[in-house]
Amino acid sequence: MKELGSPRAAGALGAASSVPTRVGVVGAGSWGTALALLLHRNGHRVRLWTWDDAVAREVREAGENRSYLPGIRIPEGLDVSADLAHVLDQADLVVSVSPSQFVDSVMEQAVRWLPPGALVVSASKGIETGTLRRMDEVLGEHLPRQQHDRLCVLSGPSFAQEVAEAHPTAVVLASRSREARLEAQTVFSSDSFRVYTDADVVGVELGGAVKNVIALAAGMAVGLGLGRNAQAALITRGLAEITRLGRAVGADPLTFSGLAGVGDLVLTCTGELSRNRTVGVRLGRGEKLDRILGEMRAVAEGVRTTEAVHQLALRHHVEMPITAQVHRMLNDEVAPADALHELMTRDPKPERWGR
């Protein structure tokens, strides 16, 4: 079991700033646990909430989150609890990192204990099925209006395992409030975790969600043994789909050339730690989706997000052929090999519209 670094002294990030020191992380999956470890190393007093009391006991007894992040030591100073009120008590910063389809129900409970004025950072990547809401929209409906300017979103190429192991990572943190994003940037930044800021909340949210859909397709290409050319084509044309949808819903297209766009897309489509790519690989090899998901403890967000992205594209009349084929594959309407063939034999088009 790896023991990583010693935490900085509390307040070492700058006594002159309004840096939060009491942090409540809501969601103890692999990503929530990794962010809790990062913030603990940064010298903050961190409490991590899990819905499963068995996970809390496991961490207390074994010093490790074996269910979601095995092999990484959880230091004694990082408090893991199944009591949401305890985790949020007097928190200066709250990190929402539940699976995207559960953020609404979790935050409905959490808001009653959320301290007024707390900085809220969403680190979940997905779009809610049915409502087609982004995570900032879900949180915005639960937060008091005066707290909307204290809401940020965190995204970018960041495997939980590597963040937990303090490997160099760069992400982007977006908020409509300059003050909020600069405050959050200070809290999360370390010598292994570089945080850039942006004002484009919509683009950062969308890039983090839709890249999981494209990763399913890229994984299927691997499972089918189609080679590197096919993977590169799917990543590049996937980026075009993300950008078209982003433009339609009000995002800045330039956002997708950065960490929340091409950066996260490349990592998720090519990295072996990617859950969505792994699901795609297994589908490409002929395994059934129910069996794959039944064997996974962690959530592959792209499986549920595909439906939401497909419906969002239809709502805004955006052409997203890769997403449409992934949607058909997940619903057993077409085999992976046939879907890839259909993508390759579509009518010829210019690479960029209007050229």
Whole-number Å distance between alpha carbons of 222 and 203: 28
SS3 316: coil
Whole-number Å distance between alpha carbons of 351 and 276: 27
Whether 2 is catalytic: no
Whole-number Å distance between alpha carbons of 332 and 336: 9
From start to end of the chain, where are the E strands? 22-26, 45-49, 64-65, 69-73, 79-81, 93-96, 119-122, 151-155, 169-174, 193-198
SS3 333: coil
Alpha helices in 113-227 (DSSP H): 135-142, 160-164, 178-188, 201-223
**2, 211, 288, 349: which one is catalytic?**
211
| Strand pairing report for 64-65 and 69-73 | antiparallel
Q: DSSP letter for 272, please.
A: T
Token pair in block for residue 278? 């792994």
Sign of the CA dihedral running 255, 256, 257, 261? positive
Token pair in block for residue 246? 């982003």
What is 274-307 written as a DSSP string?
Answer: -HHHHHHHHHHTT--HHHHHHT-SS--HHHHHHH
Q: Quick count: other Cβ atoms within 10 Å of Cβ 309?
A: 29
Catalytic positions, please?
A: 211
